[in-house]
């Protein structure tokens, strides 16, 4: 038996390694797509991985070129994009074709029998979904809880095909049999019955295997840093595109500095660190290619992770306080909240004050 994991973020990768290491009697291959977060494969130490775990770094563009290199490939990609349900005979033939086509890219020695995804809607994930009868999902981030609003065409198609959901949720496909979440009690009603709590965050493996695999250095963050601002690209309300996120982070920094605190920035891997270095030149910028959870794990003092609205630190509450400026019940109307902050500097100041003072007593 072999499990196949498809990842596209460093957090996905960390969770895959931990889950695969936990299932020591099962061989697992983890495919990490490096294009999305501009990952350099050379920074990882694969020698420290358990014998049953193999990590291969792949490029999305290479996969597309290989699949699109023949008429058959175009046909299969069309079926994958339409999420066509297939029989076992087709799946077996398609799986062999897909893995043979991508053999040089994937370095597979046997056919996997189980598929584990994070974002089951990505183009690469769809290609692999077509090859399996069903699959499982592990938490990818906020979208697991808030969902994504359907576009008009998607909404019309769902209505015509008998689907009642007005949002798209990771794992809402009938072929997804299980969804592993850090907080399944907060899952949307549409997928809640499929959810299970993540139970593979083994402290020994996090501090041992993952720290070595990701190349975590002892000086990755300044000693005594107890406040980390975790950034992320947010499209709601054009927050990042309009640079209003920098205004928000500036308010947080100003408030902390007035309390004699110098925070560090943990820039999201998909964002430019230069953007934040220019805005906050006197603050520490933590290496973006290391999962935030590795930085805070095992700290003697609890670290405070501040974000606009991110899952950063979720599941690691033993080691950190997760502080979000957007409340959970505001996640579906973030754009409205941002517009309110744009219109009223006082409202933004009050939110920063309320979030930090109420939660950590500054």
| DSSP calls for 313-336 | TTT-TTTEEEEESS-GGGGGGHHH
Per domain, the residue ranges of the chain are: 2-203, 218-360
- Quote the tokens at residue 277: 């270095």
Q: What is the mean pLDDT of residues 286-298?
A: 83
Q: For residue 186, what pLDDT is reported?
A: 86
Q: Comparing 2-203 with 218-360, is the CATH topology the same? A: yes
Q: Please say if the pLDDT value at position 142 is more than 80.
A: no
Cβ distance 129 to 83 under 8 Å?
yes
- 2-203 CATH pick, 3.40.50, 3.50.50, 1.10.3210, 3.60.21: 3.40.50
Q: For residue 161, what pLDDT is reported?
A: 63
Could you please state the CATH topology (level 3) that the domain comprising 218-360 is classified under.
Rossmann fold (3.40.50)
Q: Please say if the pLDDT value at position 232 is more than 80.
A: yes
Q: For residue 154, what pLDDT is reported?
A: 66
Give backbone dihedrals phi and psi of 144, rounded to 5 degrees, phi first: -65, -25
Q: Please say if the pLDDT value at position 328 is more than 70.
A: yes
Residue in this structure with the two tokens 């973030």, named with its chain if needed: 334
Q: For residue 162, what pLDDT is reported?
A: 62
**Half-sphere exposure of residue 60: CA atoms within 13 angstroms, side-chain side:** 16
Q: How far is CA 1 from CA 15, 24, 92, 109, 114, in A?
A: 20, 12, 15, 12, 8
Q: Which secondary structure element, helix H or strand E, spans residue 276, and what is its range?
A: helix 273-279
Q: For residue 296, what pLDDT is reported?
A: 82
Q: For residue 44, what pLDDT is reported?
A: 94
Q: For residue 155, what pLDDT is reported?
A: 65
pLDDT band at residue 288 under the 50/70/90 scheme: confident
Q: Please say if the pLDDT value at position 316 is more than 80.
A: no
Q: For residue 57, what pLDDT is reported?
A: 92
Q: For residue 362, what pLDDT is reported?
A: 62
Higher pLDDT, 238 or 361: 238
Query: Tell me: the pLDDT tens digits for 236-287?
Result: 899 999 999 999 999 999 999 999 999 999 999 889 899 999 999 999 998 8
Cβ distance 146 to 332 under 8 Å?
yes
Q: How far is CA 148 from CA 41, 127, 143, 170, 333, in A?
A: 31, 21, 7, 9, 12
Strand order from edge to edge, sheet including 195-197: 53-58, 27-33, 2-7, 114-117, 135-138, 176-181, 195-197
Cβ distance 249 to 285 under 8 Å?
no
- Whole-number percent of the chain with pLDDT over 70: 92
Q: How many residues are recorded in the chain?
A: 362
Q: For residue 75, what pLDDT is reported?
A: 85
Mean pLDDT, the chain, whole residue set:
87
**Half-sphere exposure of residue 146: CA atoms within 13 angstroms, side-chain side:** 19
Choice among 9-23, 95-109, 251-265 with the minimum mean pLDDT: 95-109
Q: How far is CA 177 from CA 116, 181, 185, 217, 285, in A?
A: 10, 13, 17, 38, 40
Q: Which secondary structure element, helix H or strand E, spans residue 174, and what is its range?
A: none
């Amino acid at each position: 038996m072999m499990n196949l994991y498809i990842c596209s973020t460093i957090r996905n990768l960390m969770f895959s390694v931990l889950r695969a290491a936990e299932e020591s009697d099962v061989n697992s291959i983890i495919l990490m797509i490096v294009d999305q977060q501009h990952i350099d494969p050379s920074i990882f130490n694969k020698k420290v991985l358990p014998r049953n775990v193999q990590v291969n770094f792949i490029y999305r563009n290479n996969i597309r070129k290989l699949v699109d290199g023949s008429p058959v490939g175009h046909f299969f990609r069309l079926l994958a994009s339409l999420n066509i349900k297939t029989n076992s005979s087709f799946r077996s033939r398609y799986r062999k074709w897909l893995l043979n086509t991508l053999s040089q890219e994937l370095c597979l020695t046997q056919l996997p029998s189980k598929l584990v995804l994070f974002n089951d809607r990505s183009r690469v994930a769809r290609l692999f979904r077509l090859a399996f009868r069903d699959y499982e999902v592990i938490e990818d981030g906020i979208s697991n809880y808030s969902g994504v609003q359907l576009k008009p065409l998607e909404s019309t198609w769902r209505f015509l095909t008998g689907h009642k959901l007005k949002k798209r949720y990771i794992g809402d496909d009938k072929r997804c049999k299980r969804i592993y979440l850090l907080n399944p009690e907060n899952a949307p009603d549409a997928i809640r019955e499929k959810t299970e709590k993540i139970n593979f965050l083994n402290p020994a493996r996090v501090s041992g295997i993952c720290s070595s695999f990701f190349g975590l250095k002892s000086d990755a963050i300044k000693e005594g840093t107890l406040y980390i601002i975790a950034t992320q690209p947010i499209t709601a309300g054009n927050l990042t595109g309009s640079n209003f996120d920098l205004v928000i982070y500036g308010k947080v920094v100003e408030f902390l500095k007035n309390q004699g605190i110098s925070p560090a920035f943990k820039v999201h891997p998909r964002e430019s660190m230069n953007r934040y270095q220019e805005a906050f030149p006197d603050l520490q910028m933590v290496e973006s290619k290391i999962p935030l959870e590795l930085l805070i794990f095992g700290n003697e003092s609890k670290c405070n992770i501040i974000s606009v609205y991110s899952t950063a630190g979720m599941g690691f509450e033993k080691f950190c306080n997760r502080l979000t400026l957007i409340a959970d019940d505001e996640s579906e109307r973030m754009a409205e909240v941002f517009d309110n902050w744009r219109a009223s500097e006082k409202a933004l100041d009050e939110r920063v004050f309320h979030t930090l003072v109420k939660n950590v007593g500054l």
